[in-house]
Amino acid sequence: MSNDNKKNITESKKSKKLRITLAVLYFIEVVLTTFPFVWGPDSNGKLIELTAFELAVQPDGYNTTQEVKLAVLFAVFILFPLVCFFFCCLDKSLKKNFVSAACCVVCVCMITFGVGASIAFGAVVSLLLYILILFLTTYSILSQLADRNN
């Protein structure tokens, strides 16, 4: 696509509403990383609710490789919604939808299989929102393809 075509990308009203809706939902996903995400043991062995942000950023450092793996896992839950938020805000092309769909699938799989039985309120709401975002992204892809053909 030439530079002239990139500057002249027109967006239908439906696509614009979907793009803004997706951006708002991804912003909510970013906020949900500060909600209780998983149940984990504290230093006394008592179960407490931990946020994704607390698990990704540990000011005292990482003592074991398991803590590093958890930090990487939960950093994904913070970074993917941020990346998708900026894609939805700034990109009017079809590329944002494919990035959004890929991020949704990865995050849903990571919540389902990575967090598993220790899932807390924030992860449950996040999982439901990712499923909704995936449906809206699919709808956005199909509507943009239909607009291109007309």
- The pLDDT tens digits along the chain (150 residues) read 455 455 555 677 888 888 889 889 999 998 988 888 888 777 788 888 888 888 787 767 777 777 787 788 888 888 888 888 888 888 777 788 888 888 888 888 888 887 777 888 888 899 999 999 999 999 888 888 887 777
The confidence score (pLDDT) of residue 91 equals 78
Query: What pairs with residue 49 in β-bridges?
Result: 39
Q: Quick check: is 109 in a domain?
A: yes
83 belongs to a structural domain: yes
Q: Which amino acid is at 50?
A: L
Give a yes or no: residue 115 inside a domain. Answer: yes
The angle formed by the CA atoms of residues 90, 133 and 105, to the nearest 5 degrees, is 100
- C-alpha to C-alpha distance for 126 and 101, rounded to whole angstroms: 15
Angle at CA of residue 36, ends 32 and 40, nearest 5°: 140
48 membership: H or E segment, kind and range: strand 47-51
pTM of the model: 0.80
Say what the pLDDT of residue 8 is.
54
| 6: in domain | no
Task: Find out whether 48 and 40 touch, Cβ atoms under 8 Å.
Answer: yes
Give a yes or no: residue 3 inside a domain. Answer: no
Q: Which residues of 104-136 are buried (b: 16+ CB within 10 A; e: fewer)?
A: beebbebbeebbeeebbebbbebbebbeebbeb
The helix, strand and coil proportions of the chain, stated in percent and rounded to the nearest 5, come to 75, 10, 20
d(CA 145, CA 121): 36
Q: Is residue 37 part of a domain?
A: yes
Question: Is 7 part of a structural domain of the chain?
Answer: no
Nearest-angstrom CA–CA distance, 56 and 86:
21
Boundaries of domain holding 32: 12-145
43 part of a folded domain: yes
Number of domains present in the structure of the chain: 1
Q: Count of CB atoms within 10 A of residue 98's CB?
A: 13
